[in-house]
Chain A
Amino acid sequence: MRIRVRFFAQLREASGTDRAEMDVPAGITARHLAHLVAEKFIGLGPLLERAGIAVNGEWTDEEIQLFAGDEVSFLPPVSGG
Chain B
Amino acid sequence: MVKLTRNPIDVTELLSEVEDDGSGGVVLFLGRVRNHSNGQEVTGLSYEAFEEMAQAQLLKIEEEVRRKWPVRAMSIQHRFGEMRIGDISVAIAVACAHRNEAFDACKFAIDTLKVKVPIWKKEFREDGSFWVEGALPTITDKNPENAI
Q: Which residues of A are interface residues toward B (Cβ below 8 A)?
A: 6, 8-10, 12-13, 50-52, 54-61, 63-65, 67, 70, 73, 75-81
Partner-contacting stretch, out of B9-17, B19-27, B65-73, B119-127: B119-127
Minimal beta-carbon separation of B28 from chain A (angstroms): 15
Docked CA distance A81–B111 (Å): 9
Docked CA distance A30–B137 (Å): 17
Closest 4 CB pairs of A and B: A80-B119, A79-B134, A9-B120, A79-B132
Question: With A56-B147, A57-B56, A80-B113 known to touch, is A8 a contact of B136 (CB < 8 Å)?
Answer: no
A81 touches B139 (CB 8 A): no
| B139, closest chain A residue (CB) | A61
Minimal beta-carbon separation of A71 from chain B (angstroms): 10
B interface, by DSSP: helix, strand, loop or mixed?
mixed
Name the contact of A8 in the complex, choosing from B56, B117, B120, B146 (C-beta under 8 A): B120
List, in ascending order, chain A residues with CB within 8 A of B90's CB: 80-81
Docked CA distance A70–B148 (Å): 8
Minimal beta-carbon separation of A41 from chain B (angstroms): 17
A50 touches B56 (CB 8 A): no
Docked CA distance A69–B23 (Å): 47
B136 touches A77 (CB 8 A): yes
Minimal beta-carbon separation of B51 from chain A (angstroms): 10
Docked CA distance A79–B123 (Å): 11
